[in-house]
Amino acid sequence: MLDILLPILIFAALALAAIGAVRRIRLWRQGRPSPVPVLRGLAAVPRRYLVDLHHVVARDKVMSNTHVATAGGFVAAMGLAIVVHGLGLAEGILGWLLLAASATMFAGSLFVARRRRDPPARLSKGPWMRLPKSLMAFSLGIFVVTLPAVGVLPAGFSQGLGSWLVALVLAGVVAWGLAELVFGMTWGGPMKHAFAGALHLAFHRRPERFSTKGGEGNRSTGLKALDLEDDQAPLGVETPSDFTWNQLLGFDACVQCGRCEAVCPAFAAGQPLNPKKLIQDMVVGMAGGSDAHYTGSPYPSPERGDRPVGEHHGTPHGPIVAPASTKDGKALVDAETLWSCTTCRACVEECPMMIEHVDAIVDMRRHLTLEEGATPGKGAEVIDNLIATDNPGGFDPGGRLNWAADLELPLMADVERAEVLLWLGDGVFDMRNQRTLRALVKVLRAAGVDFAVLGNEERDSGDVARRLGDEATFQSLARRNIATLAQYRFDCVVTCDPHSFHVLKNEYGAFYPEGQESDYPVWHHSTFINQLIEAGRLRLAPGQAARVTYHDPCYLGRYNGEYEAPRAVLQALGVELVEMQRSGYRSRCCGGGGGAPVTDIPGKQRIPDMRMGDVRETQAEQVVVGCPQCTAMFEGVVPPAGDEEVAVKDIAEMVAAALDTTPEAPPAPRDASTAQTTEEVMS
């Protein structure tokens, strides 16, 4: 009885899965073309899964073991079941292996079930709640039907009248398992993540993120350039089919684990964004339909608590954001959702499926800004300022060095070459940041660094324009900055603005004229100061007995992996460093990135307030930052009544305050006459 049923079930499931796969692939292929190395990509899947993906999953030990047992058990069990039951080859060890595999999978599914007993809010419910049962059905079913094959149960087990019933029940259980796990994989059930996920790993749009045998993958955090050559081409992503096909594939790989939701600062602040829902909305749009079947946390809404699901709908070729002229103003996603993102990358960092949320959000913003002219809030004004004055505040570009009138900073235009090109950033127009810059200059001078600045030749790096979706203005700024940089000789660029740092380091490369390339390293000032300390070029007088905490700026940490240098500097200063609960790669955004303060989408609370709450929990007296945006955001926070103000200090200010100004111990023997002349000139 079972000998007949099982092969039928198994091969029917495989056939259905194949049909589903073709349909699913057709959905992805609606996207724009994006060439990938097919065979090399497929060959890389095991490594990308076992090394890179697991690196992320393993941050949650229990979950990662659960997944290894369940997924590993399933893959083995399915493969063996095809041989043992499908082809009827139960000889020798095979049957025993199948037993072992299904038992492992069953053990794993017990953990899945335990997690689903009282699931955290970030997990989706709905069909996902039946997944542990389906896993158990498959593993148990296969286990039991394999017992006679290895001779543990008498062969007569499935003969006779009463056993008919047993056989039917068993076949039913196995069929359920196969339905969920095999063809559910390609027909859109929870197991879809396995099929889409494997292919997503193979054809990822940023293959450089993955490690190879040769070495680590890189972060690959720079946004991809938008091609502006063809002046008839529509810009950015208007409809789901405007994404590249492998982006669509990536969205489909989402397992709705909600890790992104749990770390998203905009979601926590009650702004109408939930990265997980956004990805699911893209899946809805790609297949066509409404978001009514979504079973995770919805987008928060400052007025109504949550935005109800089921009101939004989309089609592959319909607009994602409703154009201003539509009646109810609803399509797949509201514009506010896209503008709430601070581009902090916390979601990308946490996503076990390596989905690129920020790329997708910026792609859609590009359409809104470049095609619709619908940058909200002060966005349009900032962009206009950037176009007219090369800085977001609309200040006179001839006044970039006014703050440093007394510092006599060497200008690149005069000296033409220097060890360090000090990139000042737009903080030159901000009185708070000017203090940081002065401190940094003091530190560089104390270390005897040969540096020069561009002065009025410097322009905004283009960071804000780019995150606001204005790729045209970004590229124009980038090209002009590159041309300026190309005139001078310097060993490296140092800046105290992580946004300029990121853009210069990771995003300018694509805009160098043919035959030229950036040939200089770019350092954040914390890294550079640390190098100076390590080289013994700075004399510090430790003794600031402060208790401080350090906030990792997103564009320094997650974007560029620099977590160590600022901490090393603090250690050299001898201050007591207490870490916030969310620090390092899990640092929570200050709310200042991605143009979020400019678009200013309302939420229930403000992101910087939440982050200062994190700071206060550590009971530190000072929070040390390394970014003008973070400084501005934190200083804008009003402490809760009765609480003391926590000082916000840039790391350069900390170092400048600790400089040892006592004269060098034994003065080097010098020509006495020179010393005297100097004194005379002074009077």
Interface positions with ligand SF4 (CB under 6 A) = 254-260, 263-266, 273, 275-276, 279, 341-347, 350-353, 355, 357-358, 589
CB of 475 to other proteins, least distance (A): 11
CB of 238 to other proteins, least distance (A): 10
Among ligand SF4, other proteins, none, what does residue 610 contact (CB within 5–8 Å per kind)?
A: none
C-beta of 391 vs 530, nearer to other proteins: 391
CB of 296 to ligand SF4, least distance (A): 8
234 near other proteins, rule: CB under 8 A: yes
- CA-nearest of 657, 654, 610, 618 to 634 is 610
CB of 276 to ligand SF4, least distance (A): 4
Would you give the distance in Å from CA 63 to the centre of its chain? 21
C-alpha 510/C-alpha 105 separation (Å) is 47
Among other proteins, ligand SF4, none, what does residue 387 contact (CB within 5–8 Å per kind)?
A: other proteins
Residue that the structure tokens 């056939």 belong to? 15
CB of 642 to ligand SF4, least distance (A): 31
613 near other proteins, rule: CB under 8 A: no
Angstrom CA distances, 414 to 486, 492, 512, stand at 15, 18, 24
Would you give the distance in Å from CA 284 to the centre of its chain? 22
470 near other proteins, rule: CB under 8 A: yes
The answer to whether the CB of 424 falls within 8 A of the CB of 403 is no
CB of 230 to other proteins, least distance (A): 10
- Binding part of the chain for other proteins, among 41-49, 59-67, 76-84, 369-377 by CB under 8 A, reads 369-377
- CA-nearest of 208, 223, 350, 329 to 275 is 350
CB of 390 to other proteins, least distance (A): 8
Q: Where are the alpha helices (DSSP H) in 269-366?
A: 275-287, 335-339, 346-350, 357-366
CB of 354 to ligand SF4, least distance (A): 8
Angstrom CA distances, 102 to 61, 142, 145, 177, stand at 22, 7, 11, 12
C-alpha 647/C-alpha 625 separation (Å) is 11
369 near other proteins, rule: CB under 8 A: yes
Q: For 551, which DSSP code?
A: P
- Give the burial class of 220: count Cβ atoms within 10 A of its Cβ; 0-12 exposed, 13-18 middle, 19 or more buried: middle
397 near other proteins, rule: CB under 8 A: yes
396 near other proteins, rule: CB under 8 A: yes
- Of positions 360, 374, 632, 648, contacts other proteins by CB under 8 A: 374
C-beta of 297 vs 618, nearer to ligand SF4: 297
CB of 250 to ligand SF4, least distance (A): 9
C-beta of 95 vs 594, nearer to ligand SF4: 594
C-beta of 140 vs 477, nearer to other proteins: 477
- CA-nearest of 114, 148, 153 to 131 is 114
CB of 658 to ligand SF4, least distance (A): 34
Among ligand SF4, other proteins, none, what does residue 310 contact (CB within 5–8 Å per kind)?
A: none
CB of 595 to other proteins, least distance (A): 14
C-beta of 312 vs 366, nearer to other proteins: 366
- CA-nearest of 560, 577, 557 to 569 is 577
CB of 513 to other proteins, least distance (A): 19
Among ligand SF4, other proteins, none, what does residue 235 contact (CB within 5–8 Å per kind)?
A: other proteins
380 near other proteins, rule: CB under 8 A: yes
Contacts 24+ apart (CB under 8 A), 11-14: 11/86, 13/175, 13/178, 13/179, 13/182, 13/183, 14/82, 14/182
Q: For 674, which DSSP code?
A: H
Q: Nearest 5°: phi and psi at 576?
A: -90, 120
Q: Nearest 5°: phi and psi at 373?
A: 60, 45
Among other proteins, ligand SF4, none, what does residue 264 contact (CB within 5–8 Å per kind)?
A: ligand SF4
The answer to whether the CB of 175 falls within 8 A of the CB of 7 is no
Among ligand SF4, other proteins, none, what does residue 347 contact (CB within 5–8 Å per kind)?
A: ligand SF4
Among other proteins, ligand SF4, none, what does residue 623 contact (CB within 5–8 Å per kind)?
A: none
Among ligand SF4, other proteins, none, what does residue 232 contact (CB within 5–8 Å per kind)?
A: other proteins
Q: For 392, which DSSP code?
A: T
Among ligand SF4, other proteins, none, what does residue 372 contact (CB within 5–8 Å per kind)?
A: other proteins
Tokens for 62, please give them: 């229990």
C-alpha 218/C-alpha 561 separation (Å) is 10
231 near other proteins, rule: CB under 8 A: yes
- Of positions 248, 383, 610, 655, contacts other proteins by CB under 8 A: 383
C-beta of 282 vs 422, nearer to ligand SF4: 282
- Of positions 257, 370, 556, 627, contacts other proteins by CB under 8 A: 370
Tokens for 96, please give them: 């025993």
CB contact burial 404-442 (16+ within 10 A = b; e otherwise): beeeebebbeeeeebebbbbbbbbbbbeebbbbbbbbbb
Would you give the distance in Å from CA 133 to the centre of its chain? 33
Given the rule CB under 8 A, which residues bind other proteins? 231-232, 234-235, 369-375, 379-380, 383-384, 387-389, 394-397, 470, 472-473
